[in-house]
Amino acid sequence: MGGKVTCTLGEVKQKADFIVYWGGNPAECHPRHFTKYTIMRKSKFLPNGRKDRTMVLVDIRETKSAKAADVFLQVRPGKDFELLTILRALIKDQPVDNDRIPETGLTRDVLDDLIRRMKAAKFGCMFFGMGLSMTCGKHMNSAALLTLVAELNAFTKFVAMPMRGHGNVTGADVIMRWQTGYPFGITFNRGYPRYNPGEFSTVDVLVRGDCDAAFIIGADPGGTMPQPAIDHLKRIPTIVLDPHITFTSRLARVHITTAPQGIAAPGTAYRMDELPLPLKPALKSPYPTDEDVVRRINAALDAKPFWLPEDGRPRMLTAQV
Amino acid sequence: MMRITGGRVYDPANGIDGAVKELRIDDHGRFVDAIEGGRTIDATGMIVFPGGVDVHTHVAGGAINFARAMTPEDHRRTQAFIRTKNRRSGLGGMAPTTFATGYLYAGMGWTTVNEAAVPVLSARHTHEELGDIPIVDKSTLALMANNEILLDQLEAGEYERARSVVAWYIWAAKAYGVKAVNPGGVAAWKWGHDAKQLTSPISGYDTLTPGRIITQLARICDDLGLPHPMHLHCNNLGAPGNIATTLDTLRHLEGSRAHIAHSQYHAYGGDGWDSIRSASRQLADYFNAHPGLTTDAGAVLFGDTVTITADGPWQHLLYKLTGRKWGNLDVENETGCGIVPYTYRPSNLVNAVQWATGLELLLLIRDPFQAFLSTDHPNGGCFWRYPEIIKLLMCADFRNECMAKLPEAIRRRIVLPEIDREYTLYEIAASMSAGPARALGLSKKGNLGIGCDADLVIYDADDDAARMFSRPRYVIKGGEIVIEDGEIRETPQGREFLVRPPCDPDIDAFMRPLFEDRYTMSFENYPVEIERIEHADVRPCAPAP
Ligand SMILES: [Zn+2]
């Protein structure tokens, strides 16, 4: 990750008078977003709610969210990066060749109007969704948007926030970071954490057939991963912890049924803005929690002879780049 | 049980300065008068110190974890801890991973650390990370000086209510004390502004000024009887000429207890980046005349680091100055935080002034029970570089050697060349352990007296202070040998200190509607449950009658 200028959702709810959704369809994908956090919300600083807030939608097609927007900008598919780069130049009054604008699907007047509105905002927030971060250019697009937002702070307050999917993906990312320094795509095969997405990400390890066992918690790769990865999961001993029967549990050698998180198992979930929320179970389950199972496996492993060499001294990593 | 014989003991809390003295430890990890049997460590010719206490560091929580995410390239050229039977793997570097943080602190002889900036809203996260930092004992400070619910009470003149609000937040966070960062300035930053004048109302308020927040919050901490006074990061951090703001702040604090964080960043003269110079003499004079006041240096060391602070507007400025990556996270109702990677270069005049100012403050403030070793980790440098600072304090020749490498123009801007003081071992022990422990109100830390926690460090005597302090012969935590000859022997789980200050029983009813308006989390889910804290140790408060 490069830089990121962001906030928790409560700041948006209290203060954002200018809200951009870029490459997302909140009206259908996050139906409570408008009323809980953004345009419909009244606050001490924005007492008239919707009337005090401006909403801009940037997307390749006119979704239901466009009806809620004050301004809808239909960007040509695959031209997000170009549009973001032009906006970065325009906010700084750098010359932009008029010929470069039509390929984005928008006009100079529309962009000038957007720049004027962004600079006039007291507190702007850009939410960016899968439509931006998962299309061609992927992380280049998100990086360009994050840079635009950072640079807007020379003129007014501006923040950016990704619209993440569901589940506790953020929680896994947060904890891996504090224990290993990296969010995902980590290997411990030399006894310490190393990071290389594309090489050590689960899907790459499976497709190459590099691992000789798989232990899966809270995920269903059997439903989403490419066929060669699934084939490898079938070949090796795959162990799944899941409250439900899933694609992965069907192909696994062992499926341990566990109590569902948040419903019958306590813990912490991290929201998309990385706020930790406690999970307080409402029901009791006859099944053990994921945590119980992992602790019992760890205890059993501790009883076995230790397998790593006993050379304990830390060492400097200098050879790697 | 254990006895340590023959060592030269430096125990400033008890006025012991290098006397040969036997120490005895019982099975509860406490120093006692007499024991029967047990292991004996022959420390003849060695030096015995109380375990180090870091009064101001950033090792756990959303901000440092944000920094870890922003600096993956740093992790690749750093110390790696390889998994062994009694040790988890991890990485050192500018923002070490949690397990490595515990190993690195203990490996250097530090046994207690105070995480100095916790947003209450994400305190649950901070405590989860602290649970993964082994060996050392820990405490946390909750960020309060930009909390809008509190500021509203202060603006309305509702002092008693404000005091209960602070008490409520401390217990909700399961914190040990109160941190104030750029009072009013972070709240103003939520609108893209700052608060540089102590007497001007802050953005979003009609009459409330930073000066008023400072005096009221210091008084609240005193009236609640918190073991540690208000821990203050002054307004105008890092800016040329900010000595005026800092001295003005200190005058606002007369009559209250206070700890001034990382004072190096608040002791500059001049009126712009071209004319910045050290104003350490003025600040040190103030401390020398006010013996109750404490500070930590926030010293700077040359090299790469990553800066993280709740001071959002300062980080935006640093981003504009450096053009490097910028992370910013505003936390609803409460605070903010900014992250910018940074390299301090000896060739850069501003950085050279900062380097000298930190050392000057430590050398010019006469009483080491007032001025403590810190780098405001990782802001001025990483905590595992403390032995370098110790050498700079103990050896004037080494300082002069380092100064010779700086640009000639630096000499008119600093006073370091005029200072020939060299710290004694006794003074180092006071500045790295006994002093910060006393300032934190941790009476059983930084003290080798009977009844205190048996946290101590034993060094082989060595003329090179940096080498001596970076490789202790033994580190003992709670009576257990955790480091021996540079090897990690045991990794016990430390305690976490916190307080439950007295508060108006109706405060929940008062907070709930305000909370529901401002926050995006349910009121019931907000306070961290005490069961979530590993080895919680609730310390008493001594409220004003
Ligand atoms: Zn700090």
**For residue A141, pLDDT beyond 90:** no
pLDDT band at A136 (very low <50, low <70, confident <90, very high): low
Long-range contacts made by residues B365-369, C-beta under 8 angstroms, separation at least 24? B365/B284, B365/B287, B365/B288, B365/B295, B366/B288, B367/B288, B367/B291, B368/B12, B368/B423, B368/B427, B368/B428, B368/B430, B368/B431, B368/B435, B369/B12, B369/B294, B369/B430, B369/B434, B369/B435, B369/B438
CB-CB under 8 Å, A150 with B319: yes
Q: How far is CA A126 from CA A36, A48, A57, A133, A145, in A?
A: 16, 21, 10, 13, 8
Structure tokens of B313? 């507007």
pLDDT by position in tens, chain B (length 545): 999 999 999 999 999 999 999 999 999 999 999 998 889 999 999 999 999 999 999 999 999 998 898 887 777 667 888 888 778 999 998 999 999 999 999 999 999 999 999 999 999 999 999 999 999 999 999 999 999 999 999 999 999 999 999 999 999 999 999 999 999 987 787 777 887 889 889 988 999 999 999 999 999 999 999 999 999 999 999 999 999 999 999 999 999 999 999 999 999 999 998 999 999 999 999 999 999 999 999 999 999 888 888 777 778 887 877 777 888 888 888 877 788 888 999 999 999 999 999 999 999 999 999 999 999 999 999 999 999 999 999 999 999 999 999 999 999 999 999 999 999 999 999 999 999 999 999 999 999 999 999 999 999 999 999 999 999 999 999 999 999 998 889 999 999 999 999 999 999 999 999 999 888 889 999 999 999 999 999 999 998 77
Domain extent at residue B154: 51-58+100-447
pLDDT band at A321 (very low <50, low <70, confident <90, very high): very low
Q: How far is the CA of B126 from the centre of ligand 1 (A)?
A: 15
Residue B287 lies in a domain: yes
Residue B526 lies in a domain: no
More confident residue, B233 or A265: B233
CB-CB under 8 Å, A181 with B75: yes
Between strands A194-195 and A186-187, the pairing is antiparallel
Structure tokens of B497? 């200190």
Closest C-alpha among A9, A170, A267 to residue B529? A267
Of B76, B99, B325, the CB nearest to A317: B76
Structure tokens of A256? 């341990």
CB-CB under 8 Å, A5 with B326: yes
What pLDDT is stored for residue A320 in this prediction?
A: 43
Cβ-Cβ contacts under 8 Å between A and B: the total is 186
B:273-312 residues touching chain A, CB 8 A cutoff: none
Q: How far is the CA of B308 from the centre of ligand 1 (A)?
A: 7
Residue B353 lies in a domain: yes
CB-CB under 8 Å, B326 with A37: no
Residue B385 lies in a domain: yes
CB-CB under 8 Å, B91 with A280: no
Question: Which chain A residue's Cα is nearest to B187?
Answer: A11
Q: How far is the CA of A281 from the centre of ligand 1 (A)?
A: 37
Place of tokens 């207890």: B257
CB-CB under 8 Å, A11 with B125: no
Q: How many domains does chain B have?
A: 1
Between strands B79-81 and A315-316, the pairing is antiparallel
CB-CB under 8 Å, A9 with B328: no
CB-CB under 8 Å, B329 with A7: yes
| ipTM value | 0.92
Residue pair A180/B65 in contact (Cβ under 8 Å)? The answer is no
Q: What 3-state class would DSSP assign to B168?
A: helix
Place of tokens 């270069």: B345
Residues 6+ apart with CB under 8 A from A296: A288
Of A150, A157, A306, the CB nearest to B192: A157
CB-CB under 8 Å, B91 with A5: no
What pLDDT is stored for residue A264 in this prediction?
A: 84
> What single-letter amino acid sits at B430?
A
Full-model pTM: 0.91
pLDDT digit string (tens) for A9-18?
989 999 999 9
What pLDDT is stored for residue A166 in this prediction?
A: 55
CB-CB under 8 Å, A10 with B518: yes
CB-CB under 8 Å, A14 with B518: yes
Cis previous bond, B378, omega within 30: yes
Q: What structural domains and CATH numbers belong to chain A?
A: 9-162 (3.40.228.10), 169-302 (3.40.50.740)
Q: How far is the CA of B374 from the centre of ligand 1 (A)?
A: 10
Of A3, A7, A123, the CB nearest to B191: A123
What pLDDT is stored for residue B72 in this prediction?
A: 74
Residue pair B166/B224 in contact (Cβ under 8 Å)? The answer is yes
Structure tokens of B227? 């073991």
Distance to chain A for B97, nearest Cα, Å: 5
Distance to chain A for B131, nearest Cα, Å: 11
Q: How far is the CA of B377 from the centre of ligand 1 (A)?
A: 7
CB atoms within 10 A of CB B2: 20
Between strands A214-217 and B259-260, the pairing is unpaired
Mean pLDDT of chain A: 88
Residue pair A163/A30 in contact (Cβ under 8 Å)? The answer is yes
Question: Which chain B residue's Cα is nearest to A190?
Answer: B82
CB-CB under 8 Å, A44 with B326: no
Angle at A296 between CA A290 and CA A297, to 5 degrees: 90
Tell whether A306 lies on the interface with B, counting CB pairs under 8 A. Answer: yes
Q: CB burial class (10 A; 0-12, 13-18, 19+) of residue B179?
A: buried
Residue pair B285/B360 in contact (Cβ under 8 Å)? The answer is no
Residue B286 lies in a domain: yes
Alpha helices in B122-182 (DSSP H): 123-131, 148-155, 159-173
Distance to chain A for B133, nearest Cα, Å: 9
What pLDDT is stored for residue A309 in this prediction?
A: 65
Of B89, B92, B333, the CB nearest to A10: B333
CB-CB under 8 Å, A174 with B125: yes
Place of tokens 């016990």: B492
Residue B404 lies in a domain: yes
Chain B positions touching A262 (Cβ under 8 A) are: none
The fraction of chain A above a pLDDT of 70, given in percent, is 91
Tell whether A257 lies on the interface with B, counting CB pairs under 8 A. Answer: no
What pLDDT is stored for residue B331 in this prediction?
A: 80
Residue B366 lies in a domain: yes
Residue B523 lies in a domain: no
Residue by residue, DSSP assigns A23-41 as: S--HHHHSTTHHHHTSTT-
Tell whether B326 lies on the interface with A, counting CB pairs under 8 A. Answer: yes
Determine which helix (DSSP H) or strand (DSSP E) holds A296, and give its type and residue range: helix A290-302
Question: Which chain A residue's Cα is nearest to B88?
Answer: A192
Distance to chain A for B366, nearest Cα, Å: 38
CATH number at residue B423: 3.20.20
Q: Between the CA atoms of B3, B9, B13 and B15, what dihedral angle is there, to the nearest 10 degrees?
A: 130
Residue pair B321/B245 in contact (Cβ under 8 Å)? The answer is no
Residue by residue, DSSP assigns B58-123 as: --SSHHHHHHHHH-HHHHTTSEEEPPBTTB--EE-SSS--HHHHHHHHHHTTEEEEEEEEE-GGGH
